[in-house]
Amino acid sequence: MKVTVDIVYDSKGPLMADQVYELAREILPRISLGTVYRNLNRLVAIGLISETNVGSMQCFFAHPYSNTHLECRVCGRLQSVPFDLSLTQIAKDTGLTLDGYELRLKGVCQECADKCT
Residues at the interface with Zn ion (CB under 5 A): 72, 74-75, 109, 112
Half-sphere exposure for 31 (CA within 13 Å, toward CB): 22
Between 25 and 77, whose beta carbon lies closer to Zn ion? 77
CB of 31 to Zn ion, least distance (A): 24
Q: In the complex, what is the shortest distance from the CB of residue 79 to Zn ion, in angstroms, rounded to a whole number?
A: 9
Nearer to Zn ion among residue 44 and residue 112 (C-beta): 112
* Chain-centroid distance, C-alpha 103: 11
Considering only CA atoms, which of 9, 2, 4 is closest in space to residue 102?
9
Q: Which residue's CB is nearer to Zn ion, number 18 or number 111? A: 111
Provide the minimum distance between the beta carbon of 7 and Zn ion in the complex, in angstroms, as a whole number. Answer: 23
Nearer to Zn ion among residue 5 and residue 33 (C-beta): 5
- Burial environment of residue 77 by CB neighbours within 10 A (0 to 12, 13 to 18, 19 or more): middle
Of 71, 70, 65, 69, which is closest to residue 100 (Cα–Cα)?
65
Q: How far is the CB of 14 from Zn ion (least distance, A)?
A: 29
- Residues 14 and 52 sit within 8 Å (Cβ to Cβ): yes
